[in-house]
Amino acid sequence: MVIAGGLLILWGAFVVYSSIFKMRKQDVKDDSRVGSSWYIELEVLSKLANNLPYGLAKGLIAFIGFSFMALGSWMVY
């Protein structure tokens, strides 16, 4: 349980970091197929958030990353 929680915390931190620092405006409005890069979660979430404004889509993806981190913390403790 501790290992799974630690992995969720790390993955959530990776998603938050990617959404805050690495995500660009064209990533949200991209029309490429899903699975063309290693950011599969960001690609799927970007496809779902395609009609949202850029700031809201970026915040939604960061919120999901924080949710992974919260679930991991709950599993560890």
DSSP secondary structure code for residue 24 in this structure: -
Give residue 71's pLDDT band: very low, low, confident or very high (50, 70, 90): very high
Q: What is the residue extent of each domain of the chain?
A: 2-76
CA distances from 22 to 18, 29, 62 (A): 5, 15, 12
For residue 13, pLDDT beyond 80: yes
Burial (CB < 10 A; 0-12, 13-18, 19+), residue 37, is exposed
For residue 65, pLDDT beyond 60: yes
Span 20-38, average pLDDT: 66
Mean residue pLDDT across the chain: 80
Span 26-36, average pLDDT: 61
For position 9, what pLDDT does the model report?
Answer: 93
54 CA to centre of own chain: 14
Span 26-47, average pLDDT: 64
